[in-house]
Amino acid sequence: MSSFSSIFFDFNDDLYPDLFVAIDHTSDEFFWNRAGAFVNATAEVGATHTGNDMGVACSDLDDDGDLDLFVTNITDPSHVFGTTQYNALNINTASPLEAARFSDEAALRGVHNTYWGWGTKFVDVENDGDLDLIAVTGFDEYVYLRVGPGSPVYRTPSVLLINDGTGRFSRLQSAGLDDPDDSRALIAFDYDRDGDEDLLVTNVNQPARLLENIGSPQGHWLQVELRQSIGENRNGIGASVFAAVAGVTKRRDIIVGDSYLAGSPAEVHFGLGSASRLDVLQVKWTDGTESSYTNVVADRFVRIVQGVPDADVDGDPDGVDNCPAMVNPGQENQDSDSRGDLCDNCPGVPNDGQINVDGDPAGDACDCDSTDNEVWAIPSDPVKLTLDGQVLTALTWQRPAEPGCNSPIYDALRSPSASQFASATVVATNIMTTSAYDAASPAISSCLFYIVRAKDSCGVGASSSRESGTSWRLLP
């Protein structure tokens, strides 16, 4: 057989990697791995596309839990080139009694034409939760020698096909992929670690292109890297990662040999749309074991280590994590007690016992009134002021970071001692500005102390919207 690309992956969950081969001029082929012995099952699974198949993309396009395959071919309207025309999109339609059954839906879904296609990837370019499709194109020297510059497959651009959310695609142009390079390999990865997928494209007798994804707006996302137990497969090649969000489970797999003459990083990327958390994140390791996490915070890079408990998936094992229920990779702990700041009900004062008499979120060590059953925050330490005896002496303070709502309300209190605020005099109460006046007339140069406490009184947050767009910027 004459093959440009192939994929080893476990299509039937028996822990043995099966083999799909994209073949030039004759039918593609598919082999089941029967405990190390490969059995040709091309006709059985329907992987019979015949053409000049070059590159392969493999992922769960339709979110049904199994793997689909996209294969690039030659599509030449003049019919000079190509054993057959059009790409193949092998949607896995297997019944519960079948391990795999492919149906070519390239034309139905609008992904059949990518010129003379080579490297290809499923990529969620906007992080909206739907996999889009990119293919790079070329073979210019050969086309020019055979036909000349008039051929419809001479000097063609890369093709970006956007998923409309139903699994059907339309081509998006003017997104930074329109230069007519003679391209071969395509890798999608987040090179600048900003949460969206960038592209690396190699070309024949031309410089490679690194294309930064600068499209906006972008949805929420999660990038997952695996560390399998010590052995030869440390990066978890062949493992599957599942993300359950709002009743839909998305599958991504650690596949490093897809596209064409390219090796992708051993990590998976989830676009999550409007979801800022995952209901469940699950890993199926290549030895058959599983790891599962709930209520996972999005918009970050996570590394999952097989066999190491890490409930918040922040990279700190639960046994040494000072806040195992919340993401805190920096292990911040400003008061140096046993609780990390995110789990501490009074992060500024050591309070290992987390005593909280009134049951509000503020521990007694930080609570201005431990019996008020409301959230109080102290913007700053008690302020020492020397008053000049004038009436309506002004007090000012800064809005606190917490409660962090739109409209906190404040009380200002006065005490003759920095340690006796339990019996302090209220100067102003339930005000919404960050200033107040003390109408008292203390003796000239008397020393008084003031404290301001802020209570959460949030209103309804505002909403906003932005126009959609997807684009890349070429980097030097």
Residue 421 pLDDT grade (very low, low, confident, very high; cuts 50, 70, 90) = low
For 343, residues 6+ apart whose C-beta sits below 8 A from its C-beta are 322, 323, 325, 326, 328
| Strand ranges, E, within 93-139 | 102-104, 117-123, 132-137
Share of the chain above pLDDT 70, in %: 78
pLDDT confidence of residue 447: 58
Is pLDDT at 414 greater than 70 in this prediction? yes
Name the residue with tokens 């030039």: 24
Class of residue 193 by CB neighbours under 10 A (exposed 0-12, middle 13-18, buried 19+): exposed
Kindly report which listed range (201-205, 249-253, 266-270, 439-443) carries the lowest average pLDDT score: 439-443
pLDDT confidence of residue 221: 97
Query: Do residues 356 and 364 touch, judged by C-beta distance below 8 A?
Result: yes
Give the span between the Cα atoms of 249 and 239, in whole angstroms.
16
pLDDT for 282-321, tens place per residue? 999 999 999 999 999 999 999 999 998 888 888 778 777 7
Residue 379 pLDDT grade (very low, low, confident, very high; cuts 50, 70, 90) = very low
Query: Do residues 221 and 299 touch, judged by C-beta distance below 8 A?
Result: yes
Q: Which two tokens stand for residue 13?
A: 């969950």
Class of residue 95 by CB neighbours under 10 A (exposed 0-12, middle 13-18, buried 19+): exposed
For the chain, give the number of residues.
Answer: 476
Single-letter code of the amino acid located at 229: S
pLDDT confidence of residue 245: 97
Q: Are strands 18-27 and 300-305 parallel, antiparallel or unpaired?
A: unpaired
Q: Which two tokens stand for residue 105?
A: 């839906």
CA angle 201, 207, 209 (to 5 degrees): 35
CA angle 244, 247, 249 (to 5 degrees): 35
Higher per-residue pLDDT: 167 or 337: 167
pLDDT confidence of residue 361: 56
**Average pLDDT value for the chain:** 83
